[in-house]
A = this chain, B = another copy of it.
Amino acid sequence: MRISELSRRTLVPVGTVKFYLREGLLPAGTRTSATQAEYDEAHVDRLRLVRVLLGTAGLSVAAALEVVAALDSPPGPIHDLLGVAHRASGSRAGTAANEADRHRAVALVRGRGWQVHDQTPALDQLAEALAAMAEIGLVDPEAVLDSYARAAEQLAEVDVAGVPTGDPVAAVRHVITGTILLEPVLLALRRLAQEDVSARRFGSS
């Protein structure tokens, strides 16, 4: 198909498709003349993925490029996929935490027997959030953190159980999109459930 049909099928404007081509987010089509190229179903799929990564998932172009690279040449061990997904989507998160905050995060993780790499970016993210909670003074953070860690364990089992292990490309796609896209789903569901529990307990106004 021509670029105009690719645009019509995906509802992505032609100018945006050209931008993705220039940035390497979408592979070039098969050139049919000096000014035209043909695109196929693989381009439709990739275009939809890139739009979601840059849109809903909120990735930068650089992070989306990293995801696309992992799709084009999947890393061997399936465990390494998670690293790609986490790195690509973690780049929004900020600064390295200080040593004391980091120590608290590591203690929490070790206390649950979780096997995680010392340099994994989520440890800094956790450390920073724990430091903020401590500074403001949440009521009974230990009980809350225990419930949250248990929920995280249950979700992680579901997430990893769903990875299609037979097909590397499907596995990459699943890990990356599942990791990144389920985050807004989880946050939205938590807020909706909070509203429900609060309405039932305190009565809505």
Contacts and interface: CB of A to CB of B under 8 A. Distances in A.
A201 interface: yes
Contacts of A195: 82, 86, 114-117, 120, 122
B136 A181 contact: yes
A119 to B, nearest CB: 11
Given A129-B56, A133-B181, A187-B183, A160 B192 contact: no
Contacts of A149: 189, 193
Q: How large is the interface on A (under 10, 10 to 19, 20 to 34, 35 or more residues)?
A: 35 or more
Interface of A is mostly: helix
Nearest to A147: B158
A49 B152 contact: no
A48 B192 contact: no
Contact of A129 (B79, B133, B184, B197): B184
Which of A78, A122, A179 has the largest count of B CB atoms less than 10 A from its CB?
A: A122
A194 B173 CA distance: 16
A136 to B, nearest CB: 5
A9 interface: no
A1 interface: no
A174 interface: yes
A196 to B, nearest CB: 4
Interface string A92-125: 0100000000000100010000111100101101
A205 interface: yes
Which of A51, A78, A135, A200 has the largest count of B CB atoms less than 10 A from its CB?
A: A135
A82 B71 CA distance: 40
A173 B136 contact: yes
Contacts of A152: 186, 189-190, 192-193
Interface in A141-183: 143-145, 147-149, 151-160, 162, 164, 170, 173-174, 177-179, 181-183
